[in-house]
C-alpha cells in the first residue's frame, strides 16, 4: 500500500517535471528519445544536478534569470564547453604537488614529526609510495575493517596472555581437597561475563559457561498458556515436551486461579471484540477512555510506582502459584492408568447427567464395562451384562443412546485415548535420557568432580515493556525465550538420585550432599531470582543464604558497571546502582532497556585457566567452558563448535550488519516503528518489514556503541583437533575458510597462540603487544 | 507355503542437509507419496567434502537420508521438484529397482 502510494506520487512528479522543463511527456520512451537528441544538454544538466551550479557560470546565465536555459537553447553548447573545463579543473593534479600532498597526509596519519619526515631516505619514501600506489581505492574499507578487528584481537590476546606462563594443571577442576563455596553454571551470553567476574571476585565461587538451554531441548507449555514454546536453539527440533503444572499443595489456589484466569480472558476477549468492531469503538472511547488517563499519567511520571501497584493488584486477583515441571516420563502402564481414571470420571459424570441420581452408586466394574463398550471399534449388538443393566436400569435403546453420547459428547473413544496416550508418553524424559543430558553438559564444561554443596544453574531473561524487540534481549540458546524453564528442568534431573547413580557409574560422582538449584539472571536489573526453593534440603539453608547475599552483591556491582555504560536515564539524575537500571525495565518510553548483546566481539572456548577470573572482558565475550584434557576424541568440542558457536556467529552477524547498514540490514530508528499484525515491524507506514536490530540497540544517539567486527573465536585445544573438526563439518568449513569468523587456537601442548588462515592454516602469533 | 509374488517398484533415496528436509517432505506430499523413512544424522563424503553426522546441538547442518518406494510415474515428478533444490544446495538423489510383496501398501 505504502509502496504503491509512493510510486503513484513519483510518477506524477516525473510527469510534471518533464512537461514543464523539457516539454515532453514523462514516459520512459519519450525521455530516452530526448536524451538521444540532446546528449550534451543531458550531460550538462546531470553535472549541475550532481555538483550544483558553478559560481563562474552565473554571469553567463544572467539573461535566463540565473536559472538554466530552456531546452534546445543554443546556450547549452557554450555551457557544455564550460562543463568540460570545470571537470578538468576538478581532476586531481598530477606531478609533484600530488605526491607532496600524499606524503603530508601519510605523515599526519602516522604522527611523524617534521624531523622524521626529513630523515626519510629515498628508498624509504619509494617503499611508502609504492605501498600507497598499490593500495586499491576500493579496498580502503577492508583495510579499516581489518585494522579495527586486529586492534580487538590484540586486546583479547593481551587479556589471556597470562595463560602462556601457567603450568598445565593436573585436573581442570582445580584443587581436589577444597570444595568451592558454590558452583554456578551460566549461559555463554556476553551479559553473563560481567556477573561471573563479579561473583568470582567475592571468593569461593567457581563458574562455568555453557549454552543457556543447558543442553536440554524441549517444547514447553507454561501454566495456562498455549503449548509449543521451543526451549532450544533453532538448530534443533525438540521431541520432548514439558508442561508447567501447579504443585499439589496449591490445589485450592490453583482452582481459584483457573476460574479467575478464565474470567479475565473472556473480559479481555470482549474488550478486543468491542474495540475492533465498526461502531462500538465510538461508545467505548467515551465510556472507558477516561480510565486510561490514570495508567497513562502514572506510567509516564512514576513508572516504578505504577509497576509496584500493578504487581500488587495482580497478586490480589491472580496470585502467583508455585508450579512444577513434568520432567519424569511416565511408563505406558502408568499413562494407561491415568487415561483410564480420567475416562471413568467422565463416564460417572455422564451417567449422572443422562440417567439420573440413582447411578451415583454404580460399581467400578460397570463403569469399566461401559468404557470398554464405548471404546470398541466395531459396533456390536451385544448388550451390557445383566448386573450392569440392573445397576443402570436401562433398556436397549437407552443403553445404545448412552454409549453413543459417551463417544460423541464425552469423547470416550479410541482415537481420543490414543491422542491422550501420545501426549502423556511424549511428555518428559526417560531416566536414561536424563542421565545422558546431564552427563553431556557436565562433561562438555569439564565440571566432573569436586562438586560444591550448592550448584546454581542460572538461566537468563530480560524485562522491559512496550518493546517489540524483547526477545532479542532474551536467551538466544532458548530460541529467544527466557532461560528459566531449562534451568528448572536441568535441576530436576540433576537432583534425581537415580540419575546420579547412572552418572557415578560413568565417572561423574556427584556427592549426596550436593544440591542443584535453579535461578534466573534478570539481565535488565541484574537481580537473580531462585526457583523451586521448596526442594532445597534444610541442611543447605546457610549455604543458600550466603549464595543469595553474594549474588545480590555481585548483581549490584554488575548493574553499576552496566549503568555507567548506558546513557543517563531521564529524571533519575544519578548514574549508579540499581534504581537506574530498574527504571529502564518498567519505563514504557525506554528505547534501550539494556545494551543486550551489543559489543560482542569474542567467543572463547576454554577452561577458566585461559580466561582467568581476573580478566575483564567488559561484557564483550561469549564464554564457553571446555576442558581439552577430558575430551580426547574431540566430540565435545565438535558439539560446541557446531551448536553454540554457530548461534553466536548469527548473533554477531546480526549486530554486524545492522550496524553496517541500519536501513537495509538493520531496523532503522525505533521511534518510527510500527508493529504490524504481530509479525514484525515497519518504518512508519511505508516500505518493507524490517529485518535487523534498531539503531537504539547499536548506537547511543551520537556514536556507534557496537563496533561492527567479525567474531574472534579463541579455542583452547590442540590445533590438530580443531582442524579435524573443521574439515568434517561443512557449516564450520564455510564459516572459517571464508573468514566469516576469525579463529585463534590456544594450543595446550606448547602453550602458544596460533592464528588460523586458510589454506596455509596455522601461523604462530608472535609479539602480543600492539 | 504360497510363493511370495514381488511387484516391481522404484526406490528413491534422497540425501540432503537437515535444513532442506521440510522442502523435500513438502514436495513428496504434493506428488502424493504417502510413506517414507527418514534416517537423521548420517555422515559421508561428497563433492563438498566430508559431512559429519550425529551432532548433538545441530540438526539442521547434518545430513538426513530419506527413502521412499514409489510408482515409476512418480519418479519423474520427484526429480523435477528436486532439480531447483540441487541447483542451489548440495545433496544427492538416486533411484533403484526394487520388488515389493504388497504393492497396495505403496500406492494409493
Q: For A567-612, how does the pLDDT look when each residue is reduced to its tens digit (9 = 90+)?
A: 876 655 454 445 678 888 888 888 888 999 999 999 999 998 888 7
Tens digit of each residue's pLDDT (9 = 90 or more) over A678-690: 788 888 887 788 8
Contacts with A759 from chain B: Cβ below 8 Å? none
Q: Residue B2 has what pLDDT?
A: 57
- The answer on pLDDT for A520 being more than 90 is yes
Query: Cβ separation of B61 and A728 shorter than 8 Å?
Result: no
Which residue among B49, B61, B90 places its CB closest to the CB of A642?
Answer: B61
Residue A183 has a pLDDT of 95
What are A750-769's pLDDT values in tens digits?
Answer: 999 999 988 878 999 886 54
Of B51, B56, B59, the CB nearest to A730: B51
Nearest to A237 among B50, B59, B61 (CB): B59
Q: Inspect the interface and report whether the beta carbons of A642 and B58 lie closer than 8 Å.
A: yes
Nearest Cα to Cα of residue A551 among A210, A205, A190? A205
What is the helix (H) or strand (E) element at residue A353, kind and residue range? helix A332-355
Q: What is the pLDDT of residues A229-275, one digit of tens each?
A: 999 998 898 989 999 999 999 888 888 888 999 999 999 999 888 88
Position A203 scores a pLDDT of 86
Q: Which three cell numbers stand for residue A400?
A: 445404545
Are the beta carbons of B52 and A236 separated by less than 8 Å? no
Q: Is A277 left (phi over 0), alpha (psi -120 to 50) or beta?
A: beta
Check A729 against B55: CB less than 8 A apart. Answer: yes
B57 has a chain A CB within 8 A of its CB? yes
Neighbours of A723 (CB within 10 A): 14
What pLDDT shows up at residue A587?
Answer: 85
Neighboring chain A residues of B60 at a CB cutoff of 8 Å: 234-235
Residue in A with minimal Cα distance to B53: A729
Residues of A in contact with B91 (CB under 8 A): none
Contacts of A384 (CB under 8 A, 6+ apart): A366, A369, A370, A373, A392, A394, A399
End-to-end CA distance of chain A: 54
pLDDT at A381: 67
Give B-chain residues touching A215 at CB under 8 angstroms.
56-57
Residues of B in contact with A440 (CB under 8 A): 56
B1 shares contact with chain A (CB less than 8 Å): no
Query: Are B58 and A731 within 8 A, CB to CB?
Result: yes
Cα–Cα distance, A518 to A472 (Å, whole number):
23
Q: In the prediction, which pLDDT does A626 show?
A: 95
pLDDT band at residue A96 under the 50/70/90 scheme: low
- CA distances A726 to A445, A739, B19, Å, are 20, 13, 19
A116 contacts: CB under 8 Å, gap ≥ 6: A107
Query: Looking at residues A314-325, what average pLDDT do you find?
Result: 88
Chain B CB contacts of A235 below 8 Å: 57-61
List the grid coordinates of A324. Answer: 512444577
Give the C-alpha separation, B70 to B75, whole Å: 7
Max mean pLDDT among A263-267, A396-400, A611-615 falls in A263-267
Query: A705-745 pLDDT, tens per residue?
Result: 999 999 999 999 999 999 999 999 999 999 999 999 999 99
pLDDT digits (tens, 9 = 90+) for A622-658: 999 999 999 989 999 999 999 999 999 999 999 999 9
Q: A115-140 burial, b if ≥16 CB within 10 A, otherwise e?
A: eeeeeeeeeeeeebeeeeeeeeeeee
ipTM strictly over 0.85? Answer: no
Q: Above 80 in pLDDT, residue A669? A: yes
**Mean pLDDT, chain B, as a whole number?**
88
* Closest A-chain CA to B89: A730
Residue A724 at interface with chain B, using a CB cutoff of 8 Å: no
Confidence of residue A384 (pLDDT cuts 50, 70, 90): confident
Running DSSP on this structure, what letter comes out for residue A427?
B
Average pLDDT of the segment spanning A439-445: 94
* Residue B83 binned pLDDT confidence (cut-offs 50, 70, 90): very high
Domain count within chain B: 1
All three cell numbers of A686: 511505508
In a domain, B54, yes or no: yes
Are A404 and A413 in contact by the 8 Å Cβ rule? The answer is: no
Contact A599, A190 (CB under 8 A): yes
Which pLDDT band holds residue B108 (cuts at 50, 70, 90)?
Answer: low
8 A C-beta contact, residue A731 and residue A645: no
In angstroms, the Cα distances linking A161 to A158, A767, B65 are 5, 11, 46
> Strands of A182-187's sheet, edge to edge?
A205-210, A182-187, A454-461, A515-522, A527-531
Nearest to B52 among A237, A638, A643 (CB): A638
Mean pLDDT of all residues in chain A? 87
Nearest beta carbon to residue B49 from set A638, A644, A727: A727
Distance from CA of B20 to the nearest CA of A (A): 12
Whether A52 and chain B come into contact, CB under 8 Å, resolves to no
Distance between CA atoms of A605 and A602, rounded to whole angstroms?
10
Cβ contacts of A638 on chain B, cutoff 8 Å: 52, 55
Tell me which chain B residue has its CA closest to the CA of residue A635.
Answer: B55
B39 band by pLDDT with thresholds 50, 70 and 90: very high
* Residue B47: CATH number of its domain: 3.30.70.120
Q: CB-based contact (8 Å) between B41 and chain A?
A: no
Distance CA A713, CA A645 (A): 9
User: Residue A328 corresponds to which cell in the numbers above?
Assistant: 519424569
For testing contact with chain B, the best of A641, A723, A731, A738 (most B CBs within 10 A): A731
Compute the nearest-CA separation of A220 from chain B (Å): 18
Q: Classify residue B37: in a domain, yes or no.
A: yes
3-class DSSP assignment, residue A591 = coil
Cβ contacts from A onto B, under 8 A? 52
pLDDT tens digits, one per residue of A299-313: 888 888 888 898 899
Contacts of B16 in chain A (CB under 8 A): none
Residue A260 grid cell: 479467575
Count how many Cα atoms sit within 13 Å of the Cα of residue A708 in the half-sphere of its side chain. 22
Nearest neighbour of A727 by CB, restricted to B50, B59, B61: B50
Contact A241, A219 (CB under 8 A): yes
Residue of B45, B51, B57 for testing the chain A interface, max A β-carbons within 10 Å = B57
Cell of A732: 564450520
| Range(s) of the domain holding residue B81 | 9-98
Question: Hey, are the CB atoms on B90 and A639 less than 8 Å from each other?
Answer: no
Query: What's residue A91's pLDDT?
Result: 58
Chain B residue with minimum CA distance to A437: B56
Band of the pLDDT at A172, cuts 50, 70, 90? very low
Residue A95 confidence (pLDDT): 53
How many helices (H) does chain B have, and how many strands (E)?
Answer: 2, 6
Answer whether residue B1 is part of any domain. Answer: no
pLDDT above 70 as % of chain A: 94
| Chain A residues within 8 A of B48 when measuring between CB atoms | 730
Amino acid at each position: 500500500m505504502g509502496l504503491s502510494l509512493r510510486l503513484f506520487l513519483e510518477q506524477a512528479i516525473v510527469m510534471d517535471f518533464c512537461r514543464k522543463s523539457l516539454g515532453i511527456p514523462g514516459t520512459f520512451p519519450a525521455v530516452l528519445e530526448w536524451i538521444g537528441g540532446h546528449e550534451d544538454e543531458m550531460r550538462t544538466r546531470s553535472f549541475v544536478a550532481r555538483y550544483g551550479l558553478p559560481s563562474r557560470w552565473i554571469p553567463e546565465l544572467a539573461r535566463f534569470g540565473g536559472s538554466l536555459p530552456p531546452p534546445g537553447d543554443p546556450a547549452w553548447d557554450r555551457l557544455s564547453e564550460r562543463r568540460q573545463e570545470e571537470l578538468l579543473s576538478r581532476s586531481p593534479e598530477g606531478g609533484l604537488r600530488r605526491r607532496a600532498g600524499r606524503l603530508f597526509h601519510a605523515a599526519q596519519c602516522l604522527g611523524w614529526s617534521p624531523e622524521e619526515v626529513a630523515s626519510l631516505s629515498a628508498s624509504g619514501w619509494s617503499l611508502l609510495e609504492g605501498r600507497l600506489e598499490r593500495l586499491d581505492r576500493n579496498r580502503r574499507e577492508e583495510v579499516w575493517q581489518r585494522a579495527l578487528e586486529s586492534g580487538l584481537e590484540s586486546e583479547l590476546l593481551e587479556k589471556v596472555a597470562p595463560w602462556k606462563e601457567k603450568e598445565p594443571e593436573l585436573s581442570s577442576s582445580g584443587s581436589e581437597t577444597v570444595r568451592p563455596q558454590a558452583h554456578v553454571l551460566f549461559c555463554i551470553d556476553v551479559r553473563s561475563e560481567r556477573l561471573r567476574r563479579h561473583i568470582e571476585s567475592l571468593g569461593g565461587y567457581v563458574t562455568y559457561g555453557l549454552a543457556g538451554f543447558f543442553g536440554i531441548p524441549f517444547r514447553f507449555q507454561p501454566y495456562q498458556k498455549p503449548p509449543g514454546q521451543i526451549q532450544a536453539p533453532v538448530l534443533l527440533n525438540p521431541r520432548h515436551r514439558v508442561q508447567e503444572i501447579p504443585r499439589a499443595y496449591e490445589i485450592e489456589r490453583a482452582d481459584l486461579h483457573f476460574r479467575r484466569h478464565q474470567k479475565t480472558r473472556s473480559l479481555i476477549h470482549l474488550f478486543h471484540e468491542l474495540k475492533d468492531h465498526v461502531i462500538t469503538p465510538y461508545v467505548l472511547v467515551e465510556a472507558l477512555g477516561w480510565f486510561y488517563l490514570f495508567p497513562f499519567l502514572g506510567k509516564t511520571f512514576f513508572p516504578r510506582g505504577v509497576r509496584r501497584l500493578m504487581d500488587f493488584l495482580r497478586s490480589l486477583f491472580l496470585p502467583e502459584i508455585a508450579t512444577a515441571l513434568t520432567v519424569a516420563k511416565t511408563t505406558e502402564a502408568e499413562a494407561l492408568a491415568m487415561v483410564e481414571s480420567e475416562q471413568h470420571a467422565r463416564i460417572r459424570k455422564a451417567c449422572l447427567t443422562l440417567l439420573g441420581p440413582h447411578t451415583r452408586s454404580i460399581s467400578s466394574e460397570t463403569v469399566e464395562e461401559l468404557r470398554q463398550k464405548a471404546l470398541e471399534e466395531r459396533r456390536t449388538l451385544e448388550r451390557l451384562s445383566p448386573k450392569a443393566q440392573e445397576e443402570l436400569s436401562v433398556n436397549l435403546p437407552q443403553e445404545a443412546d448412552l454409549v453413543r453420547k459417551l463417544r460423541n459428547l464425552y469423547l470416550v473413544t479410541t482415537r481420543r485415548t490414543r491422542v491422550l496416550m501420545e501426549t502423556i508418553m511424549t511428555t518428559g524424559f526417560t531416566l536414561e535420557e536424563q542421565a545422558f543430558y546431564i552427563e553431556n553438559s557436565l562433561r562438555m564444561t569439564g565440571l566432573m568432580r569436586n562438586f560444591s554443596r550448592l550448584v546454581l544453574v542460572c538461566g537468563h531473561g530480560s524485562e522491559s515493556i512496550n518493546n517489540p524487540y524483547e526477545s532479542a534481549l532474551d536467551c538466544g540458546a532458548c530460541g529467544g525465550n527466557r532461560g528459566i524453564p531449562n534451568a528448572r528442568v536441568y535441576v530436576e534431573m540433576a537432583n534425581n538420585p537415580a540419575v546420579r547413580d547412572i552418572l557415578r557409574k560413568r565417572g561423574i560422582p556427584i556427592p549426596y550432599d550436593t544440591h542443584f538449584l535453579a535461578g534466573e539472571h534478570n539481565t535488565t536489573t541484574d537481580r537473580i531470582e531462585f526457583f523451586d526453593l521448596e526442594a532445597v534440603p534444610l541442611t543447605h539453608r546457610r549455604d543458600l543464604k550466603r549464595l543469595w547475599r553474594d549474588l545480590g552483591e555481585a548483581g549490584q556491582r554488575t548493574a553499576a558497571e552496566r549503568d555507567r555504560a548506558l546513557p543517563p536515564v531521564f529524571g533519575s539524575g544519578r548514574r549508579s546502582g540499581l534504581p537506574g537500571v530498574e527504571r529502564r525495565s518498567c519505563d514504557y518510553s525506554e528505547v534501550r532497556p539494556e545494551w543486550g548483546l551489543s559489543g560482542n566481539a569474542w567467543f572463547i572456548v576454554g577452561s577458566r585457566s585461559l580466561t582467568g577470573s581476573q580478566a575483564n572482558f567488559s561484557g564483550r565475550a561469549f564464554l564457553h567452558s571446555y576442558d581439552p584434557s577430558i575430551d580426547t576424541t574431540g566430540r565435545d568440542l565438535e558439539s560446541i563448535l557446531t551448536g553454540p558457536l554457530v548461534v553466536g556467529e548469527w548473533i554477531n552477524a546480526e549486530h554486524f550488519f545492522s550496524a553496517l547498514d541500519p536501513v537495509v540490514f538493520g531496523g532503522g530508528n525505533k521511534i518510527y516503528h510500527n508493529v504490524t499484525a504481530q509479525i514484525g515491524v515497519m518504518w512508519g507506514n511505508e516500505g518493507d518489514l524490517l529485518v535487523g536490530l534498531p539503531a537504539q540497540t547499536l548506537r547511543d544517539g551520537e556514536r556507534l556503541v557496537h563496533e561492527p567486527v567479525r567474531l574472534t573465536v579463541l579455542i583452547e585445544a590442540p590445533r590438530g583437533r580443531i582442524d579435524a573438526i573443521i574439515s568434517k563439518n561443512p557449516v564450520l568449513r564455510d564459516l572459517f575458510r571464508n573468514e566469516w569468523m576469525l579463529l585463534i587456537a590456544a594450543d595446550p601442548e606448547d602453550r602458544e597462540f596460533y592464528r588460523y588462515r586458510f589454506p596455509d592454516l596455522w601461523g604462530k602469533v608472535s609479539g602480543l603487544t600492539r | 507355503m504360497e510363493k511370495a509374488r514381488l511387484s516391481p517398484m522404484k526406490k528413491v533415496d534422497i540425501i540432503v542437509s537437515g535444513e532442506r528436509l521440510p522442502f523435500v517432505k513438502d514436495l513428496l506430499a504434493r506428488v502424493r507419496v504417502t510413506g517414507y523413512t527418514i534416517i537423521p544424522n548420517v555422515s559421508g563424503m561428497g563433492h563438498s567434502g566430508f559431512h559429519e553426522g550425529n551432532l548433538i546441538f545441530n540438526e539442521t547442518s547434518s545430513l538426513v537420508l530419506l527413502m521412499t518406494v514409489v510408482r515409476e510415474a512418480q519418479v519423474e515428478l520427484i526429480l523435477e521438484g528436486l532439480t531447483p533444490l540441487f541447483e542451489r544446495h548440495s545433496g544427492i538423489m538416486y533411484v533403484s529397482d526394487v520388488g515389493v510383496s504388497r504393492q497396495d501398501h505403496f500406492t494409493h
